[in-house]
Structure 1
């Protein structure tokens, strides 16, 4: 088929990949792996998509999660990949968490599910103090704990909006970690994922921020399962994880450098809490299986082709990566359409989707090439590209 390029031309492309078959791992994995999953819209029920609540296809949304669990992956629920604050509101996220937890409890793999708690149900202009931010977080934490999920303390836009200093961050997190029913996962999301999070932790110097966060983690190491870092900086993550207290995991959120970070450098390695794992689940699951068996050659053979794909999906402006996740879900038949909450499918250009198609094929991630080709053709025709 003829696909557009970033040079503004059309080029012939023939599929080359032998698709991976999704399956459960044959051995226990030695890395904890959370895939952050997206939400599938119900286009027939959608009303006022830019301003109203999203209409969710609950059957397709849960079936997608069950597919991840079937492959031995855990789930990070109601996170930024699910368009929190970018088309999905807290009432929808709460229902998503409750439905997901019921499905997880019934699933034979008994998967791990961690869920994002934030402050997005309260307008920023009403979150004018650390106490107000704490109260907002607690509302969502209580809902997650009532559903049986593990809490991820998502980064909040409220603290940067207050231009808060380190003392305010410490007050908020100290209170929340202390009152949590079980160990939590902290969430350090860089401004490339959400520009409203610039200056998070109350300092501009990264070395100072590292010391602040490590002090918080050390003080509460018995109540912190781990910390997810999404800064797209491999050397920073490696240096930071080497300083973590024993027993506290580093969950990489680096969708550019996950392969070497998860493999590790000998004494230290990262676990995974990644949006890209939802898109590359067969390769991720089977690579982690190989790593658990000591087969690093197969591990890299499976993951290496996914890295160019991930870098394309997460290219700047990075916050629009959700469109690539949903696009691959559509190509692979785990949803019947390419419509997203808030019309988010329009956040990327056709040349991007064409490149994602090429790279997914080369990473062996188009599970049914005929269906994927037909659907890519439909999208091309919508953009005036025929043949």
Structure 2
């Protein structure tokens, strides 16, 4: 059987789907690396909402997907940008997601870390920004989850320089009950975060970031770096205080960063591990066994798919992630909160299907093929 897929130049090409998925089985958490998958949310397709209305979530399907990730030994990074924080999911929805996700993690013994931000604010004073962070931190801690202090659009808009970041983050770290993960999200993921840490000069910004950590190393479990710059991540990783982990958020260079070098390695907190979950878990288990070559052989071929999903404008990678979850049978529809399913073109989605199928990511390749043909038919592509 073949399928006709649209190319970027407007022509149709013939593709022959594979008939069998990659054989990957669930397993326990890993020994050599700490690995989180940032997880998407499943919209309720029957909710009568507008794009600007609060998100309507299918809680059963959303939590089932998290159980899928936990079953393979992955941790879940909850209510972060992959879950459309600031792109369809508001703070009220995120708070409910955190509570439900943390309860589900306790029930199955899964690891969970949850995003803490200021998205209940559009702007404001430093005092209001601190209070917004505190409100969200309290929700995460009360839920029994680890906190990830995410970058704040409000702080980026309000801060006058590095000293404001030092003051806000220092205040939060002093009051955090347990060590947190600090998240540096670059402007390629969110243009509103340009100049974070008080400077658009990344060397200066890195200095401020490291100053925050050095002042409170006992309150920082690790840092998540999402700058899509492998060299800079490695340099920063080597400057971290002993005991502070680097969690790569680089969806372009993750195999080499997780594998590491003679001076260390990165752990992982990645949006691409949403569609790659079972395959990524299998690769990390090879690292646990000391098989770096096998790890790279399994994970390196996935980079082309990741670079495709995260191509500019990078912030719309969530559309491809949810699309692949639908094709893989993790949800019954391709609808997203905020109507974000329309954010990528049909040729982009077709290429995502082809790359994912080539990797064997679909548990039921026939189902994925049928769903891809259904989407194509809606666009007028006859088979």
TM-score > 0.5 by shorter chain: yes
Q: TM-score of the superposition, structure 2-length normalised?
A: 0.97
- Assess if the C-alpha contact under 8 Å between 1:68 and 1:281 holds in 2: yes
1:282-297 paired onto structure 2 within 5 Å: 282-297=278-293
Inter-partner Cα distance in structure 2 for 1:46 and 1:151: 33
Please say if residues 114 and 151 of structure 1, whose CA atoms lie closer than 8 Å, have aligned partners that are also in contact. Answer: yes
Conserved 8 A contact 1:17-1:362: no
Deviating more after overlay: 130-139 vs 159-168? 159-168
Matched residue, 1:10? 12
Unaligned runs of 5+ in 2: none
The CA deviation string for residues 125-169 of structure 1, in whole angstroms up to 9 with x for no partner, is: xx2x21111001000000111111111101000122125310101
Q: Which moved more, 1:294-303 or 1:83-92?
A: 294-303
Secondary structure at the residue paired with 1:290?
Answer: helix
Query: Does the 8 Å contact 1:305/1:362 carry over to 2?
Result: no
1:154 aligns with 2:150: yes
Q: Deviations along 1:285-319, whole A, 9 cap, x unmatched?
A: 00000011011222112111211000000000000
**Contact 1:38 / 1:81 at 8 angstroms: preserved in 2?**
yes
In 2 relative to 1, CA 186–26 (structure 1 residues): closer, same or farther, beyond 3 Å? closer
Structure-2 residue corresponding to 1:373? 369
TM-score by length of 1: 0.96
Question: Please, which moves more after superposition, 29-38 or 295-304?
Answer: 295-304
The residue aligned with 1:255 is 251
User: 2 CA distance for matches of 1:282 and 1:25?
Assistant: 9
Please state whether the residue corresponding to 1:2 is helix, strand or coil: strand
Are 2:122 and 1:120 aligned?
no
2:53 maps to which residue? Answer: 52
Greater mean alpha carbon deviation, residues 39-48 or residues 143-152: 39-48
Q: Who is 1:65 aligned against?
A: 66
Number of matched pairs? 381
2: distance between equivalents of 1:331 and 1:243?
Answer: 42
Q: Which residue of 1 aligns with 2:314?
A: 318
Deviation at 1:41, TM superposition (A): 0.6
Residues 257/282 of structure 1: CA separation in 2 closer, same or farther (3 Å cut): same
Q: Which residue of 2 aligns with 1:275?
A: 271
Any residues of structure 2 matched to 1:170-189 within 5 Å, and which?
A: 170-189=166-185
Unaligned 5+ segments in structure 1 are none
Residue in 1 aligned with 2:164? 168
| Counterpart residue number, 1:34 | 36
Q: Does 1:206 align with 2:202?
A: yes
Structure 2 residue aligned with 1:264: 260
The more displaced of 149-158 and 20-29 is 20-29
| Contact 2:21–2:361 under 8 Å retained in 1 | yes
What residue is the counterpart of 1:131 in the other structure? 127
- Give the whole-Å Cα distance in 2 for the aligned partners of 1:70 and 1:343: 30
